[in-house]
Copies of this chain bind each other. A is one copy, B any other.
């Protein structure tokens, strides 16, 4: 088993090497700004070598999306510590928005960039995303169970809150808030979050 397992290990190491370089470059220059040649140069291999480890650029895209999903999960995880479902939900929302604002590149990758057509459902990144989404929906369900809302339509409540948070983050990071002066944007976002929390309370 010595040789084959070593080879497998080496293959895995190479994939990591490529991915780490890709993620670093991507966070510096954005997804579209990074070429296979850039990545190859960064790891001091020829561009063709990349294709021995990843079928094409979109496979790298999916692998990066998985990385981003893991980082996002880690960012949101502390919210789970809150006992009270309503507090948990608020903290979840706050952290979701905070993640998007602090890591626009990763948020972009996860929720904005047009993903390659192939069945994303089968990709690991998607499963991880589903899991995080499920945690969110469960938290909303816990609030519903605790009679925190008048409405009991968990699905719609969760989706509505998500729409707001996603809209807030994506308008921000795709620079569609230019009608508000730069220094006011973050504060407006904060006020809006407080408002949606208030709105949800009387839901």
Q: Which residues of A contact B (CB under 8 A)?
A: 30, 111-115, 120-121, 126, 130, 133, 151, 153, 155-157, 159-160, 162-168, 170-171, 174-176, 178-180, 188, 191-192, 195-196, 198-200, 202-203
**Contact status A163-B156, CB under 8 Å:** no
Measured between beta carbons, the chain B residues less than 8 angstroms from A191 are: 153, 156
**Contact status B192-A203, CB under 8 Å:** no
Give min CB distance, A168 to chain B, whole Å: 4
**Contact status B151-A195, CB under 8 Å:** yes
Measured between beta carbons, the chain B residues less than 8 angstroms from A200 are: 199
Check A130/B179 contact, CB under 8 A, given A162-B171, A167-B164, A167-B167. Answer: yes
**Contact status B114-A188, CB under 8 Å:** no
Give min CB distance, A92 to chain B, whole Å: 16
Give min CB distance, A141 to chain B, whole Å: 15
* A168, closest chain B residue (CB): B163
**Contact status A133-B179, CB under 8 Å:** yes
Q: Find the residue from A156, A168, A200, A203 having the highest chain B CB count within 10 A.
A: A156
- Contact for A192 among B156, B170, B176, B195, CB less than 8 A: B156
